[in-house]
Structure 1
Amino acid sequence: MSDQDTNLTPEAFTDRQKAVLDCALQLLVEGGEKALTTAAIARAAGCSKESLYKWFGDRDGLLTAIVARQASKVRAPEALNGPFSRETLIRELYQFAENLLQVISSDVSLALNRLAIGQASRGDATLGQLLLKRGRGRIGAQTTLLLKEAMAQGYLKQSDAGSAYDVLYGLVLKDLHVRLLLGDQLKKAEQDYAAAGKQAVDDFMKLYAASTE
């Protein structure tokens, strides 16, 4: 892994770097792994290969930045400062669930996951580990903090916050991701992410909401 890995945080990307990474993601969608070369990215983004190396380091560093850029599109709720209401908690979870469904179902996320699966089947789990760490891991850590604080404020039953997050994540995605990866063409009615996310959070609250009595 590139020495620059620890510095590649989505918050540190400039607008220009974000645009370059988005070009790389689109190349991946359109042409797969073979299209994801520094020459092709530089050409599509209108920058030099030298700039790519300066910003992201070697190919592993570039790949790490690409994953970080896509993962940053999931707006995971952060632990809120100070006391917050039960309604605020639920609103934050609704927004998180809807956004997670939108990003996970995008052509870019599907292309990244298919590439990771293909590489892992050939014995290279590098991209898969990146997706787990910078995708689900980052999102999970932030959301778990919110759930932990909600438990401390008495809105959720006292439980392991990490396990509670795993349940929430499963309720939101169900088997949607697997179906999409396998090429399932979902009906338009099934793509109401706001309604699906709301239902998932409501189901989660039925399991974890603390008694108000």
Structure 2
Amino acid sequence: MQGRVDVSGGHLTARQKDVLDAALGLLVEGGDALTMTGVARRASCSKETLYKWFGDRNGLLTATVQWQASKVRVVPVTREGLDARSLFSSLQGFAGDWLRVLSGEISVALNRLAVSHAGTGKSDLGAIVLANGPFAMARRLKPVLEIGREAGLLSFDDTDEAFRTFFGLVVRDMQIRLLLGDRLALTEAAIARDAERATQQFFALYGAKSEAAGTGR
């Protein structure tokens, strides 16, 4: 049963956010120990409320992953008045948020748990993380890339390929190093630097030549 709370649409009450934060905290602390009873106890709410909002444990896991992914914001752009600088700023902001979320202890714990469950039949967490993590990021960012192409600021044939390239430039080896226990410390300055560099590299690959210089980078 799918979760009944619309997380992706941003329609969450403050109480529902508290519950999802409690679930994320339990995932970091205990991983496999996450239960509806444990979340209800941590969030000081009833199990009946959890079932009403999320349907079942998989629904709760889905909403929890969506809530974590929602912290990566996409600055909306429109075809009218879009220039290279504003497109660069939108992509750079997305990259920075992405790095902050992926490098946080919550995402690292969640991804470790999803990897440990993959192919074991323990739960659908791996599929949930894929659908509501990287695949959701693609659904949110690809329209921005396509608007940039329509505006003549970007040049590419395959939107999926362009997104995967941007993903690789932003994440690089950071995620796998953290998953394997590297104590990689990403400061705000490092995140800002890496986000700008990834966006510069993306424009170098896909920026329309006549507009690439418009970023001023």
Residue number in structure 1 paired with 2:39: 41
**Counterpart of 1:74 in 2: which secondary structure?**
coil
Give the one of 158, 180, 183 matched to 1:182.
Answer: 180
**Counterpart of 2:210 in 1: which secondary structure?**
coil
Q: Which runs of 5+ in 1 are unaligned?
A: none
Distance 1:189 1:25, change over 3 A: closer
**Counterpart of 1:12 in 2: which secondary structure?**
coil
Give the one of 150, 157, 175 matched to 1:152.
Answer: 150
Instruction: Show CA shifts across 1:141-161 (max 9, x none).
Output: 121111111111111114212
* Contact 2:8/2:66 (8 A) holds in 1: yes
Q: TM-score, normalised by structure 2?
A: 0.89
Distance 1:79 1:142, change over 3 A: farther
The answer on 1:116 being equivalent to 2:114 is: yes
Give the one of 170, 173, 181 matched to 2:171.
Answer: 173
Distance 1:53 1:80, change over 3 A: same
Q: TM-score, normalised by structure 1?
A: 0.91
| Pairs aligned (count) | 211
Distance 1:38 1:167, change over 3 A: same
Instruction: Show CA shifts across 1:100-156 (max 9, x none).
Output: 000001111111111111111524461111111111111111211111111111111
* Contact 2:79/2:151 (8 A) holds in 1: no
Instruction: Show CA shifts across 1:158-209 (max 9, x none).
Output: 4212211110010000010000000001256697111011001101111111
Mapping of residues 1-213 of structure 1, within 5 Å: 2-4=1-3, 7=6, 9-34=8-33, 36-80=34-78, 82-124=80-122, 126-187=124-185, 192-212=190-210
* Contact 1:172/1:200 (8 A) holds in 2: yes
* Contact 1:77/1:143 (8 A) holds in 2: no
Please state how far the C-alpha of 1:51 moved relative to its aligned partner: 0.9
Letter in 1 for 2:104: S
Instruction: Show CA shifts across 1:25-69 (max 9, x none).
Output: 0111112221x1112111111111111111111111111111111
Query: Cα RMSD over matched residues?
Result: 2.1
* Contact 1:79/1:145 (8 A) holds in 2: no
Distance 1:8 1:94, change over 3 A: closer
